[in-house]
Amino acid sequence: MQFTAKDIAALLGGKLEGNPSQAVTGIAKIEEASPSSLSFIGNPKYEQFAQTAHAGILLINETLVVKNDNIGAIIRVADPYASFTKLLELYQQMMTQSAHKGIQQPSYIGTDTTYGSDIFLGAFAYVGDKVTIGKNVKIYPGTFIGDGVRIGDGTVIHAGAKVYEGCTIGRDCVIHAGVVIGGDGFGFAPLPDGSFKKIPQLGIVEIGNNVEIGANTVIDRATLGATVIRDGVKLDNLIHIAHNVEIGENTVMAAQTGISGSTRVGRGVMIGGQVGIVGHIKIADGVKINAQSGVSKSIEEKNKGVTGSPAGDFREHYKGLAYVKRIPDLLKRIEDLEKSLLDKKS
């Protein structure tokens, strides 16, 4: 697939310098750019490469000075990173749309199931009864879609994902390989003899629009009602969301985080990797939780930053660390004072 500098500049609304007919067939990092590739500079620490790169097309900001005859064309935009992201999205859409369409065999589609135009269903996929699938949905090989599931337009479900019965997924979502949506929550009642009796998990999982869920992440169905992932949420790989949790709009969460049952996470929350959050608490909008923190009680202040285990205010945590570093010196001073007092007594 080939694109010219003129086409790309028009798409991004950028200012074109150099050869408008310069064509590229791929995308590369600035350090590895070739005459057939497009690259960009969005971070000032890479600006040095603008003078040495051999890119066919270079996407940069409006002020960077470039003196390099090895670049075929330059496109200047206000935000190179945002513009480059837009190009990547369009490139991915074109590649995906052109590569996969139709229903491969062997695959299974149950009774009373409906699907929209331009669907892709990969080989060995299973789609249960009374499933509703929107337009331009792509379901890759080896995927399981249970009875009564609803999937919105433009959603992509990658190989080996499992969506259990009754769950709903909005439009333009991306579900990566190995994700399990709607498995049973961890509900067991203790019995007098010390054993545990399973509590039936009768709820579902509701996923909003424009949600991305990373590989091997697990979202449990509710005991009753719904586990809810709202619009714009981005979940990394290897995350566990327990039963009846609610995640607010545009919250992002890094890998190996676990959230216990019935916790409510607000809008725009940022959660680092390996965070553990107990059940039945609330996290306010805009909270930032540092990696490897343990959250054991509700965070009610909006936009608060916390770290540590148990998690506490960023500033207080690092102030405490500063005091800890002083402990050896303080102990030495105490020992010197004790020795001085003993010398005076003797």
Q: Which fold has domain 3-99?
A: 3.40.1390
What pLDDT score was predicted for residue 153? 97
Q: What is the pLDDT of residue 109?
A: 97
pLDDT of the residue at 346: 66
pLDDT of residue 96: 61
pLDDT value of position 322: 74
Stretches where the chain sits below pLDDT 50 are: none
Round to whole Å and give the CA distance between 223 and 272.
27
pLDDT in tens, 106-119: 999 999 999 999 99
8 Å CB contact between 180 and 201 = no
Helices (H), the chain: 5-12, 80-99, 314-325, 327-345
Question: Which CATH architecture is the domain 102-313 placed in?
Answer: 3 Solenoid (2.160)
Q: What is the pLDDT of residue 99?
A: 62
* Fold agreement (3-99, 102-313): no
Entry pTM: 0.79
What would the two tokens of residue 100 be?
Answer: 């996969």
Please give the pLDDT value at position 342. Answer: 80
Is 176 annotated in the active site? no
Provide the token pair at 151.
């999937």
Query: Could you give the residue ranges of the DSSP H alpha helices within 50-134?
Result: 80-99
Where are the chain's structural domains?
3-99, 102-313, 314-346
Amino acid 98: pLDDT: 55
Active-site residue, selected from the candidate residues 158, 176, 243, 317: 243
